[in-house]
Amino acid sequence: MKNDLRLSALLWTAAMVCAQIKCIAGEPAPVRPNILFVLADDLGIECLNCYGGSSYKTPNIDALARSGIQFATCFATPVCSPSRAQLLTGKYNFRTGFIDIAGRSGAVKELDWYRHPTLAMALKDAGYDTAIAGKWHLGWNNFEQKKNDKYDEESNDYVFSPHIQACGFDVQRCFRHAYIYYDKPKPGRYGPDIYQAWVLHYLEQRRANPKPFFLYYPMGLVHAPFMPTPLNPKAGEKDGQENFKFMVEYCDNEVGQLMKKLEELGLRENTLVIFAGDNGLDFRLHAKFNGHVVPGQKGQTGDRGSWVPLLTSMPGRIVPGQVLKELVDFTDFYPTILDFVGVPVPQFDGEHRENTIDGVSFAHLLRGQQGMSREWVFSQIADKWFVRGEKYKLRENGELYDISGSPMREILISQDLETAESQIARKRLSEILAQIKKQ
């Protein structure tokens, strides 16, 4: 199997070299790949079968994992807004001000796109069409009411945000609040279907459009309230955990619909598909994970609060069937996507100051090549944070944890029982924190 993967990677590299030679010889450069980034809300690793979860059925997401790379250790932040800010800016939250949910615990209320140019802005400047549908959660000011969508007369009026547009998105179909109203904008219609229909319609429009696109789809599912879905409509209006199973499965169905649509439209092979969760499972829920029933840790600094699924797929470009253990965090998406499509990271912000990026590109892993991968991740919520390597994690209060058994178990190491190895780890992690804060 390993030899097959190496051969596939070598063939891919050879193809890229040939493409570059043709470009130098005067032939037109290949079309840049499309990007579809699907971000599930509050979907921790314990929810997915491919990561060891067994409480819910996720065949479509599991198939997506098999079609490309499943990253075993990807870290976001413990709540929504900070992860989204990292994804779009490549910066840690103490730089952007999104240390918590927008406007909470001293966090900023709106992403400053002028000081922190976004991934969408960089791609748009490089010739991409950009679109977003779903949950924005990086600023709710200056929303304007718009008329019905032309393609769907059943939809009621929706909101349009000049702020989202300024952040680089040409077209948008977002909702104002932190969570979706599942029975609106049309009573009796399942809310997530509104955004799924918009995304499918957007993809259909790309069939005859030669320009590459970046479609960012931060889904409403599986965030609370835990309302009935079309899979269990007789459950009534009760907001209960028993509905969550069907919410996960509905999310999985929507992912399956997206992949099927890409195939039908002939877009699958030239579209980099990225699927991730924005933080851990809601703390009010429990899921069976690797044979144990575990509580969700959303909003907490335990590993499962920010340990999320990450899948990447692109037939013919990404070797299928891979499970990689390299550490990834959400700041890495910004440089990785730009690297993969051949767009440079902007060197300056709107005020012509240095555009400091914390992310580390893992595009070489997508290409099957050798390269530098990160040795640690950083995660923050309000005044709590941790910096984490492969075996040890250092908290803001000085606590050091042995995480070799994580995500099932984290062991606090008493300072009077520290070993030479743990002391070295403490010193190293402290130095890393000082280094990133100094930049």
Are residues 92 and 23 part of one domain? no
Instruction: Assess whether 119 and 169 both reside in one domain.
Output: yes
Q: How confident is the model at residue 176 (pLDDT cuts 50, 70, 90)?
A: low
Instruction: Examine the domain organization and report whether 179 and 295 are in the same domain.
Output: yes
- How many Å apart are CA 32 and CA 343, to the nearest integer? 10
What pLDDT is recorded for position 268?
97
Question: Which residue among 360, 375, 390 closes a domain?
Answer: 375
Q: Does 380 map to a domain?
A: no
CA neighbours closer than 13 Å in the CB half-sphere of residue 342: 10
Answer whether residue 223 is part of any domain: yes
pLDDT for the residue 232: 87
Of 62, 85, 20, 59, residue with least CA distance to 381:
85
Q: Is residue 384 part of a domain?
A: no
pLDDT tens-digit series, residues 45-60: 999 999 999 999 999 9
Within a domain: residue 381?
A: no
* Strand bridging mode 129-135 / 171-175: parallel
Establish if 418 belongs to a structural domain.
yes
Q: CATH number for the domain including 262?
A: 3.40.720.10
**Residue 145 and residue 18 in one domain:** no
- 371, 267: one domain: yes
Contact present, 299 and 282 (Cβ < 8 Å): no
Give pLDDT, residue 5: 43
Residue 147, pLDDT > 70, answer: no
Whether residues 159 and 177 share a domain: the answer is: yes
Question: What percent of the chain has a predicted confidence (pLDDT) above 70?
Answer: 84
**Does 353 lie in the same domain as 241?**
yes
Burial of 209 (0-12, 13-18, 19+ CB in 10 A): exposed
Domain contains 390: no
Q: Are residues 97 and 193 in the same domain?
A: yes
Mean pLDDT across the stretch 27-34? 74
In a domain? residue 388:
no
Distances (CA, A) of 112 to 54, 88, 155, 205, 359: 40, 11, 31, 31, 18
Residues β-bridged to residue 276: 39, 310
Which pair of structure tokens corresponds to residue 42? 């509050």
Q: What is the mean pLDDT of residues 393-402?
A: 95
* Token duo for residue 132: 């977003």
C-beta separation of 62 from 48 below 8 A: yes
Q: Among 13-22, 142-151, 156-165, 238-247, which stretch is predicted with the lowest mean pLDDT?
A: 13-22
User: What residues contact 114, with CB distance under 8 A and at least 6 apart?
Assistant: 349, 350, 351
Bigger pLDDT: 183 vs 228: 228
Res 410: pLDDT: 97
**Mean pLDDT score across all residues of the chain:** 88
Of 273, 274, 220, the C-alpha closest to 247 is: 220
Measured in degrees and rounded to the nearest 5, phi and psi for residue 75 equal: -120, 130
Q: Are residues 55 and 152 in the same domain?
A: yes
Candidates 306, 396, 384, 435; CA nearest to 100 is 384
Name the residue with higher pLDDT: 378 or 146. Answer: 378
Q: Which of 373, 360, 312 is nearest to 332 (CA)?
A: 360
∠ CA 63-374-406, nearest 5°, is 65
Separation of alpha carbons 408 and 30, rounded Å: 45
Average pLDDT over residues 122-150: 79
The boundaries of the domain holding residue 5 are 1-30
pLDDT at 161: 84
Count of the separate structural domains present in the chain: 3
| Residue 182's pLDDT band (cuts 50, 70, 90) | very low
pLDDT at 183 over 60: no
Over residues 122-131, the mean pLDDT reads 98
Same structural domain for residues 351 and 215? yes
**pLDDT tens digits, one per residue of 208-255:** 899 999 999 999 899 988 888 889 887 766 677 889 999 999 999 999
66 plus 20 within the same structural domain: no
My answer on whether 371 and 421 are in the same domain is no
Does residue 289 lie in a domain region? Answer: yes
- Over residues 288-335, the pLDDT tens digits come to 999 999 999 999 999 999 999 999 999 999 999 999 999 999 999 999
